[in-house]
Amino acid sequence: MTGAGTVAGHGRVLGVDLGSRRIGVAVCDAGQRVATPIVAVTRREGVAGHRRALDELAELAAEHEAVGAVVGLPRSLSGALGVAAQATLAEVDALRAVLALPVETVDERFTTASAAAALRSGGLKARDRRAVIDASAAAVILQSWLDARVRSAP
């Protein structure tokens, strides 16, 4: 886990999967035990579209009374920060400014694959999975963050 403004305390936290076409969003319960997928925000072209997506995330944070956010960081298989991770970190900075909440990053390697496998094993057809995969990946990201907090608690 990395990031300026460590998410602390209890309350709802957003999980965010910054995809190139959609941004998956999940939220955890106030007790910070279970992550639930809620929506995928569609990205639009250009600066105005980028700003609109950030505004939608801010609206979701306010609606769910979030105390922070956790964003998946797409590290390479070796763990290095490649081009995609650098782009994500730049977007995390913009998200911090819009949310005015602590935002952490967490390694998201294999989260989309993990979410897809879970949806597939749940019997969801391929066309139906496409509609929920991004939010489900955000839930996997958030759940891994929640589970890591439990493991590291004294």
Least Cα distance to 139 among 115, 120, 104, 107 occurs for 115
User: What's the pLDDT score for residue 146?
Assistant: 93
pLDDT for 114-126, tens place per residue?
A: 655 665 666 655 5
Give me the sign of the Cα torsion angle 27, 60, 41, 85: negative
109 touches 75 (CB < 8 A): yes
pLDDT-based confidence at 3, cuts 50/70/90?
A: very low
95 touches 16 (CB < 8 A): yes
pLDDT surpassing 50 at residue 2: no
Q: Which helix H or strand E contains 43, and what residues bound it? A: none
pLDDT-based confidence at 7, cuts 50/70/90?
A: confident
pLDDT for 124-133, tens place per residue?
A: 555 555 557 7
pLDDT-based confidence at 1, cuts 50/70/90?
A: very low
The distance in angstroms from the start CA to the end CA of the chain is 17
User: What's the pLDDT score for residue 131?
Assistant: 56
Residue 50, CA distances (Å) to 15, 18, 86, 109 in order: 18, 12, 17, 24
The domains of the chain are located at: 12-152
- Topology (CATH level 3) of domain 12-152: Nucleotidyltransferase; domain 5 (3.30.420)
pLDDT for 61-111, tens place per residue?
A: 999 999 999 999 988 777 788 888 899 999 999 999 999 899 999 988 655
